[in-house]
Homo-oligomer: A and B are copies of this chain.
C-alpha cells in the first residue's frame, strides 16, 4: 500500500503525449539531424514511436526487452525477447533513433544502445517522452551524443493513457492532476 506521503502520480492524456512527441520531432528537425529508422523499445515505446513516425516519416523496427529469465524469474538484467532479423543488413551504417516512453534508471536504454552498437550503425540517438530527475543506475555509452527528452519530470510514478482500464476516468484525473 502506498504511504500517504507519496507524491501523486503524473497522469498524461494521449493528447499530452502526442503534443510532446511533436515537440521532440520539431527539435530533431531543427537540429538538422535525421534518422534513417526508428527503433521502438517494446512495449512502452510502441505508441510514442508510432506517433513520431507521423512527423519523421521513417520506418519503425521494434524490439522487446524483458526483465524475466527463461524460467520466468525476475532478473536485474534486461534481455531482448525480440530482436531484429537480418539486423546487420538493416542497421549497419544507419542513423538510428531509439525510442522509449521513460528514462527511469536508464538501464533499459543503455542495454538497447549497446545491443544496437554491435551492429555497426552510423549513429545511435535516443528520444524519450519523459526523463526522471534521479540518480541513474547506468550511463549511456559515450557513442550517444544526441538525446532528446520531451519533458524532464520529478521521480514520481507516471500513469500513461495506454495503461488505463477506463480512459475517461484517466482523462478526468489527468485534467485535475499535477503537471511537471
Residues of A within 8 A of B (CB): 13-15, 18-19, 22, 40, 42-43, 46-47, 49-51, 53-55, 59-62, 64, 66, 81-85, 161-165, 167-168, 171
Q: By the criterion CB–CB under 8 Å, are A161 and B43 in contact?
A: no
Question: Chain B CB within 10 Å — which of A18, A55, A84 has the most?
Answer: A18
Residue of B nearest to A163 (CB): B54
Q: 6 A-B residue contacts at CB 8 Å? A: A13-B14, A15-B168, A19-B167, A40-B46, A59-B81, A61-B82
Q: How many chain copies?
A: 2
Closest chain B residue, CB of each to CB of A42: B60
Q: Which 7 pairs between the two chains have the least Cβ-Cβ distance?
A: A14-B14, A62-B62, A18-B167, A46-B50, A46-B46, A85-B85, A83-B85
In whole angstroms, what is the CA distance A66 to B59 when docked? 10
Q: A54-B164, A64-B61 are in contact. Are A82 and B84 (CB under 8 A)?
A: yes
Complex interface: chain B residues within 8 A of A40 (CB)? 46, 62
Are A167 and B15 closer than 8 Å at their CB atoms? yes
- Bound Cα distance A51, B160 (Å): 11
Q: Evaluate contact between B42 and A62: CB separation under 8 angstroms.
A: yes
Q: Do residues B161 and A14 form an inter-chain contact, with CB atoms below 8 A? A: yes
In the complex, which residue of chain B has the Cβ closest to the Cβ of A61?
B82
Give the Cβ gap from A102 to chain B, nearest Cβ, in Å: 14
